[in-house]
Structure formats: structure tokens, C-alpha cells
Amino acid sequence: MLTYSFAEIGSDTLYHYLYECIKKDIITEHLKEGERLPSKRSFAENLGVSVITVENAYAQLMAEGYIYSVPQKGFFVEKLPDRILPGDGKESVSEETADPVPVVDFSSSRNHPDSFPFSVWTKLNREIMARDKYALMTPSPANGVYALRLAICQHLADFRGMKVDPSRIIIGAGTEYLYSLLIQLLGYDKVYAVEDPGYKKLYRIYGSNHVACRAIPMDGKGIHMERLRASDTDVLHIAPAHHFPTGIVTPIGRRYELLSWAAGSERRYIIEDDFDSEFRMVGKSIPMLQSIDVQEKVIYMNTFSKSLTATIRISYMVLPPHLAVRFHEKLGFYACTVSTFEQLTLAEFIAGGYYERHINRMRTYYKNLQKRLLETVRNGPYASRVRIAEEEAGLHFLLTVDTCLTDEEITKKAMEGGYRVLMLSECYMEDKAPDTHTLVINFSGMSENGLDRINDLLRRIL
């Protein structure tokens, strides 16, 4: 029986560690092409782990093409293309298979592998393959498969208080693609604006599409209205329910001010980015700006990258009725960039209630993870030299440190110790911000075993 020791697992998860062990044995040909792997149940009993741990490891190996399954027979090692192996007298193994320098990433907003519902997703995949063969061979409409758009409509009605028609929803492979569609739809002659500080990549995306883009400062309630009115902005891109990185929630008074600004010109629109509102830690979800818009000025955008995984690459936007008509007239010739297979699987995942259960489970998980992480900091040896802010801001919080180091020196010291961090000053546009001594701590990709590493990070900085 194939056996591995978990003595050196460190902060890794059981599932990921087992996956890495099997993958290494396949790459080094310790496990040969066509060799049968142990059954999930017997393997789990032999290793002393749960069946779900083995199942998730096998699912990841299958997804990456290292193994394949034969119904009623089991899992087998896949044939890999010719490759250079360590110790064969040629060049070393590629960077993908080499042992990386250990880095604890407090800046990444990626999800932890264990958070993805592999078993349910695989089950739905099999059911759809067997049941929906005709639909899988039918090209998706430009705005996406109807079943997924209908499921999203029901989800928005149940959890965001939004009543929309499926014809107004546009599915795309990531929000970055949808941004480019919006620019084509609204016009290259428009002036676009983003929050400052904010998601810096967004500023660069608009620039790469060759449109004018402004960075509008924030105040304690969101976008600074006087600065917005003084600008020549036509299309404003904001996250009023949860601003990144400050965590500001735009109050109702400011929201009506924004809608009033948008109503001041036919050229003006607001893009409402709702990227991780599912994981608000305290209180109820914030009502959407789109839900109080009566003049068709708000374009709602969201993605499944935070609630499921960024690698699924499925995002969507809800257009006002007149813009939905314009989309079908002007851009309806485009092919949908998300595969029909993935769209049907996600539609079933939402309609079957799996998505709601997943969100509830992950909300509890992240809330407990955040609580333990904050307790680790507050009870640690550097508690008197740090200040925590915006801890209700979803899957990140702000950590200000009492130090004379510049932000660049903090980043360098952290990296020397194997830690990647994001400074608040890095979120300002055009690199014009002064040192803030404030770290933006993302914890969505962390495991519980790695929580205590934050005190080692603080030790290296302070």
C-alpha cells in the first residue's frame, strides 16, 4: 500500500500535502504510467486521514492531468510527455516542479485550495456530461447560457434584493474582460474614474484600453463628491458596499448624492463593483446602489472568484435595460468567453442550493479564521506597537505598525524573511502616496496552521 508520512507537513493542509507527495512520485516516475492508485477508502484508512482528504487530492491531480479514473476500476497514473528529470545528466527540472522558496503571502486574495467544494463540483460535472449532451454541444449566446443567467437572477433576488431579467445579465471570463466590453459599449470618448486608493490593477486596465482615466480621492464616506464634481468624469467605477483596501461602506446619503451626480448628464454612469460582499463579517449585507437607481444609471458587476475560486474565471454584469438592448445590437456578435460546460455546472451549483450552503459554510470559516488571526495579534508580543482597523471589511483588515521604517523597507524586510505583504501606500494610483506604515492583511488564502506566522512577520519588521 502506498504510504506517506505527514511528519513534515508544517502549515500545509492534509489534502494539499498528500497531493504534492503523489505528484512528486509521478513526476519522478516512482509511480509509473498506468499504475493503479489505492482506492480512496483504503488509502484514507492506511494514512489515518479522512476520505474527503484523499478525494480532494485525487480531484486536484485529475484536474491537472496527473491521473485519470476508470469507472468501477479506480484511479490510474496518466502518461506524461517526455520530460527532463533530476539527476539524468541534463538540465534540472523546470521551475514548476522545483521546490520553491517558502513564502507566506499576506497580500494574496486567492482562496485556499481546501475551500473549494471539489466533490460536489465533480458530481455535478458527471451529471451534466451524462444528461446535457445536446446543450454542451450548443454554442453559448453572447451574453451567456440562459440557465446560468436565470440562476444568477434568482440568487440576486434572494440575497441582494435585486429584481433583474436574465436578458440584462452578461457572462464573461473575468471582470477584466467585462471592463473591456463596457468600454466598447459606453464609448472610448468617455472619461473613466476609479477610487484612490483602490484596486490599482483596475486603473491600469482602463489605461491599457486607451481611455482617459482619473483617480478620485476618498473621504470617510467614499468618493470625495467635490473632487468628483470638479473632474470631467463620465463613468465612475466604485465599490460602495465594501471599498478595497480601506473597507469604507458608502452611507445612504452619499449614495443618493452619487445617483444625483450620474443623473446630471446623459453621458454619466456608475459601475458598482460588488466583488466580495458575501463575506461581510458583521451585520447584514449592504443594500445595492443598483436597487435604488430609478434612472438606469448603475451597472452592477460581480464575480465568483472570491466566493468559489479565481481560476473558475466566471464573472457577470447587470446592465440597465437600455444598455442591455444596446449590447445585443452592438456587441451581440461576440462569442461568450466562458465554456458552456462551466456555465451549466455553475448554474446547477446555484440552482441546487449548493452555492448558498457553500457561502454559509465559508462565511463561518472565514469569521473564525479572522477571529483567531486577530487574537493572535492582540495577544502577541507586539500588540502594543500595532493598530488594527477595518476588521469588518470582509477578507482583509488593515494593520498599522509603529516603526520608523519606510514602507519600502517594511516590504523588503518581510520578503527577506519569506513573507509577501501589501502596503496601503501601494494601493494609491501613480505611486504618489506617502508612507503609511499600514499593511493590508489578506487572509482568504491562509490555513489555520499558519496563523501564528503573523507574529514572526511583525518580529522581523519591528
**pLDDT, mean over the chain:** 87
416 with 340, same domain: the answer is no
Last residue of a domain, one of 352, 377, 406: 352
323 with 382, same domain: the answer is no
28 with 77, same domain: the answer is yes
The pLDDT value recorded for residue 93 is 40
Total domains in the fold of the chain: 3
Whether the CB-CB separation of 80 and 33 falls below 8 Å is answered with yes
67 with 166, same domain: the answer is no
340 with 365, same domain: the answer is no
Last residue of a domain, one of 323, 352, 381: 352
Last residue of a domain, one of 337, 352, 367: 352
| Residue 1 domain-assigned (yes or no) | no
259 with 306, same domain: the answer is yes
> Is the pLDDT score of 390 beyond 70?
yes
50 with 26, same domain: the answer is yes
186 with 85, same domain: the answer is no
421 with 320, same domain: the answer is no
Closest CA to 170 of 331, 291, 345: 331
Q: What is the 3-state secondary structure (H, E, C) of 378-426?
A: HCCCCHHHEEEECCCCCCEEEEEECCCCCHHHHHHHHHHCCEECCEHHH
Lowest pLDDT segment from 31-35, 99-103, 151-155, 450-454:
99-103
206 with 322, same domain: the answer is yes
Q: Read off the CATH number of the domain in which 92 is found.
A: 1.10.10.10
Residues ≥6 apart with Cβ < 8 Å to 79:
33, 34
Structural domain of 256 = 132-352
| Residue 277 domain-assigned (yes or no) | yes
The model's pLDDT over 414-454, given as tens digits with 9 standing for 90+, comes to 998 888 999 999 999 876 678 899 999 988 887 776 677 89
- Burial of 97 (C-beta count, 10 Å sphere; 0-12/13-18/19+): middle
The pLDDT value recorded for residue 87 is 43
Angstrom distances, CA of residue 396 to CA of 111, 154, 210, 246? 12, 28, 32, 9
The model's pLDDT over 40-97, given as tens digits with 9 standing for 90+, comes to 988 888 888 888 889 888 988 887 788 988 888 889 998 876 543 444 434 444 444 4
327 with 240, same domain: the answer is yes
Q: Given the DSSP bridges, would you call strands 419-420 and 104-105 parallel, antiparallel or unpaired? A: parallel
Report how far residue 137's alpha carbon sits from residue 374's, in angstroms, rounded to the nearest whole number: 49
| Residue 50 domain-assigned (yes or no) | yes
The pLDDT value recorded for residue 444 is 84
| Residue 113 domain-assigned (yes or no) | no
Largest CA distance in the chain: 72
Query: When comparing pLDDT for 380 and 305, which is higher?
Result: 380
The pLDDT value recorded for residue 280 is 66
232 with 340, same domain: the answer is yes
Q: Read off the CATH number of the domain in which 373 is found.
A: 3.90.1150.10
> Is the pLDDT score of 286 beyond 80?
no
| Residue 163 domain-assigned (yes or no) | yes
